[in-house]
Structure 1
Amino acid sequence: MAFHEVRFPANLSFGSVGGPERRTEVVSLSNGFEERNTPWSQSRRRYDAGVGLRSLDDIGALIDFFEARQGQLHGFRWKDWADYKSCPASATVGMADEFIDVGDGSRTEYQLVKAYASGAASQVRVIRKPVAGTVRVGLQGDELAEGVHFSVDTATGIVAFASPPSINERITAGFEFDVPVRFDTDRIQVSVASFQAGDVPTVPVVEVRL
C-alpha cells in the first residue's frame, strides 16, 4: 500500500466521530476470576468521515478525495480534532511538551513520541506524521532552531540533529500531528434526497500501522 502525504480536508473531519480502539482478550475462569491480555501494544483509531458532511459540496469534496485515494488502496493523513497536539487542546505547542529521549553523544536521529498518563500508568505513542512547521525542539531546556540545529522528516516523525546531543542531555519536543489512515470501505453510497433530509452517509476510516 502506498501512502499519500495529503490530509483529508480538515473542515470535513471536524465534527467526525471516532477515537482509539483497543483489542483485549478476556477469559472468564471457572472460579469467577478473569484473565485479560492484549495482542496490541498500541491502540488503533477509527473514525466516521460522513458525520462531518454539511452540504452537497462537502459530498463532492469527499468523493474527489476518495477517488484520488482509490478507495482503500492508498493511505492519507487525518486530523483528529480531539487529539492533534502534544499539549492540551486549549494550550499552545511548546518545546517542552513531551520528553523524547536523552542524548548518548553519537546518535543524531530521534523519533517523536507522545505520552498518555493517568495515575501511575502511562502509554507512549509513536508519532509518525507531524505537521510541517509546528515542531519545536528543546535540548536541556534551550529551544533549538529548525533548519539550523535540527530538521524534521514529516513522513516519519524523525528529528535529525545537526550534531549529536551530548550524553544525558534531555531532548524534548512539541508538535501538531496527523493520524495515518485509510478508508475502510471501497464503496460510498449517497442519496441526495436522504442527505438533504438529514441522513448522512457512513464513511469509515481506520488508522494504519506504518
Structure 2
Amino acid sequence: MAFHEVRFPDNISRGARGGPERRTQIVELASGDEERNASWTNSRRRYDAAYGIRRADDLAAVVAFFEARNGQLYGFRWKDWGDYKSCLPSGAPAATDQTIGTGDGTTTMFQLVKAYSSGAQAWTRTITKPVAGTVSVALDGIAQASGWSVDTTTGQITFTTAPATGTAITAGFEFDVPVRFDTDQLDVTHDLERLGSITSIPLIEVRR
C-alpha cells in the first residue's frame, strides 16, 4: 500500500466533517417486512476536510498537501478529533484501556484494537496507526515500562519475552486514521478578497 507517514494538518482536520460508514443491503418483501444483510464486516470512515479551512493559508496548506500526495495515489494519517483515543474523548489514555490479547506463553506479537460496545453488542476495530509516544502497555493491570515495543506503522506490539499463559494484555494509546484523498481534483474558488475556498475535499479510510 502506497502510504506516507505524515499527518494532515491538525488545525484544518479539527473543523472537518465525517465519520463511520457501513454498507447494508435491505430487501423489502411483498409482505412489507424487511430482510437486512451486512455487506461489510467492518465500517469505513469518510471525511470532508473543506469545512476546516478558515484562512487563505489553510487553503495553501491543503493544496500543497494534495500535490505532495499526488492526489489519490498516496495515503496519509488523519486525526479524527471525535475519535482518536483508546478511552473516552474527555479522558487520558491509560495502559488498561483496551484488551489486545491473552498470553499463551508463546505469542510475542499483539495487534492494537479498540472495542466499541453498546448493550450486549460490540465491534472491535483494528488500530494500525498509533501515535508515537502515546502508547502504554500493561500485563494483568500492571503498566510495563520496558520489555515491549510498538510499530507505529502497523499498530503491532512486540514483547521481548512472550507473556505467560492467561496473562491479560491491555494497552492505551492515541491513534490516527489511514486515509487518502477520494478525488484527483481540487475545485478551488477564488473570491474577490482572493482568500479562496474549496467546495469539497473528500477523504476515505484506506483498508487493506
TM range (shorter): over 0.9
Larger CA deviation: 173-182 vs 191-200: 191-200
1:194–1:200 contact (8 Å) kept in structure 2: no
Residue 38 of structure 1: how far off its partner (Å): 1.2
Counterpart residue identity of residue 153, structure 1: D
Residue of structure 2 in register with 1:13 after alignment = 13
Alpha-carbon RMSD: 1.5
How many residues get paired? 208
Contact kept, 8 Å, 2:23 with 2:38, in 1: the verdict is: yes
- 2:86 maps to 86
Distance 1:105 1:137 in 2: 17
Please say if 1:203 is aligned against 2:187: no
Partner of 2:172: 174
How far residue 192 of structure 1 moved from its aligned partner, in angstroms, is: 2.2
Residue 51 of structure 1 aligns with an amino acid whose one-letter code is Y
* Counterpart-to-counterpart distance in 1, 2:106 and 2:131: 27
Residues 86, 175 of structure 1: 8 Å contact kept: yes
Pair 1:131 & 2:140 matched: no
Deviation at 1:28, TM superposition (A): 0.7
The alpha-carbon deviation at position 101 of structure 1 amounts to: 1.0
> 28-37 or 53-62, which moves further after superposition?
28-37
Query: 1:197 and 1:98, CA in 2 relative to 1: closer, same or farther beyond 3 A?
Result: same
Quickly say closer, same or farther: Cα 1:67–1:197, change in 2 above 3 A. Answer: closer
Q: TM-score with structure 2 length normalisation?
A: 0.96
So what's the TM-score if we normalise by structure 1? Answer: 0.95
Letter in 2 for 1:173: A
What percent identity do the matched residue pairs reach?
57
Shift of 1:174: 0.6
Question: In 2, distance between residues paired with 1:199 and 1:63?
Answer: 11
Letter in 2 for 1:13: S
- Following superposition, the deviation at residue 201 of structure 1 comes to 2.3
Identify unmatched segments of 5+ residues in structure 1. Answer: none
Superposed counterparts of 1:44-193, under 5 Å: 44-145=44-145, 148-193=146-191
* Cα distance change on mapping 1:199 and 1:68 into 2, 3 Å: closer
**SS of residue paired to 2:6:** strand
CA pair 31-200 structure 1, distance change in 2 beyond 3 A: same
Q: Secondary structure at the match of 1:193?
A: coil
Question: How far apart are 1:107 and its partner, in Å?
Answer: 0.5
Distance 1:114 1:102, change over 3 A: same
